[in-house]
Amino acid sequence: AARRSTLCLYEGSYLANLFSGRWDASIERDSSNRYFLDFDPACFRTVLNVLRSQRISREGAQLPPMTLPPEKAEHFHNLLEYLGLAEHLEGLVVAGPQADGDARDAAGAASLGAGLLQSATALL
Give the integer Cα–Cα distance in Å for 34 and 84: 23
- For 110-123, how does the pLDDT look when each residue is reduced to its tens digit (9 = 90+)? 555 555 445 444 44
Tally of CB atoms within 10 A around 112: 20
Could you tell me the pTM of the whole model?
0.69
Nearest to 77 by CA among 43, 50, 38: 43
- Calculate the CA 21 to chain-centre distance: 20
Strands 93-95 and 66-68: parallel
- For 9-56, how does the pLDDT look when each residue is reduced to its tens digit (9 = 90+)? 999 999 999 998 888 888 888 899 888 889 999 999 999 999 998 888
> Which whole-number Å values give the CA distances from 38 to 28, 43, 81, 92, in the listed order?
10, 11, 15, 23
